[in-house]
Amino acid sequence: MSVEIDVLDPAHPKRVAIIVSNPSTSKQTGWPIGFWWGEVTHPYWEFTQHGYRVEIFSPDGGKLEGDKWSDPRDDSQYSADDLISMGFIHAPATAKMIEQSKPMKDLQLQDFDAVLFVGGQGPMYTFFNDERVHKLAVQSYEAGKVLAVICHATCILLKLKLSSGKLLVEGKSWTGFANSEEKYADDYVGKRIQPFWIEEEARKIPGTNFVVSGRFRSHAVRDGRLVTGQQQYSGADAAKLVIEALGR
């Protein structure tokens, strides 16, 4: 298998900060919630295979917890075929990035070319109302960085306002977790999982173009320096669009 490596300037590689939810508990279901493994590991793989350097941050720092069904070791076997995540989990250097995530307050924005917010069940509770998360996302975009948001982390785009007071998504095309996917997940477990549905709320916003593809099919959208991914299967394609936006 051939691997394409970015060698435009190996002495000064591009750098991406991945922002991950701290562990929490769903007020809707009572489940422990966090991040979705594949939304971290698949973009990480794409970036590092192009010579990028990647660091993992969370709002509070410290040990992170993946959503149970996203863990390829889980008894459910839901993600058993996710070999990229399995490798990430078992490699000491990358496992340490999850065991000891860096606090977001230590992120020096000038050192990074792109910032990626990843989903899972946690962000609907840990990102949606966290002003620290909103501030970093807006500052990243207004500083000319590529801003990427995947899956349930796209809930923040319902709220993010630029310094002008305008919603960041005004006049832009973007995607996020679809109503059809929420309904499927709710029906699968027999209860309402999320406090609200992102697509349902996005379609109430005038002057923005929210677009979804087939249920649980990879779908990523780039509109200038804003990159979004529909759900957990969209991480790699979203990362590719970040790479494209950065000019490889």
Tens digits of residue pLDDT in 60-72: 999 999 999 999 9
Residue 137 reports pLDDT greater than 50: yes
* Structural domain count of the chain: 1
Domain with residue 224: its CATH number is: 3.40.50.880
State the residue range of the domain holding 117.
15-245
205 assigned to some structural domain: yes
2 assigned to some structural domain: no
6 assigned to some structural domain: no
- Across the chain, the runs of DSSP E, i.e. the strands, are 15-19, 24-25, 32-33, 53-58, 102-103, 114-117, 146-150, 173-174, 209-210, 220-223, 226-229
For the record, the structure tokens of 138 come out as 């807006």
Tens digits of residue pLDDT in 82-91: 999 999 999 9
167 SS3 class: strand
Residue 33 reports pLDDT greater than 90: yes
Query: What pLDDT was estimated at residue 8?
Result: 55
10 assigned to some structural domain: no
> Of all residues in the chain, what percent carry a pLDDT higher than 90?
94
66 assigned to some structural domain: yes
- Asked whether the beta carbons of 136 and 103 are under 8 A apart, the reply is no
165 assigned to some structural domain: yes
161 assigned to some structural domain: yes
8 assigned to some structural domain: no
Tens digits of residue pLDDT in 150-161: 999 999 999 999
- Assign 7 a pLDDT band (cuts: 50, 70, 90): very low
CA distances to 43, 45, 68, 163 from 71, in Å:
16, 17, 6, 39
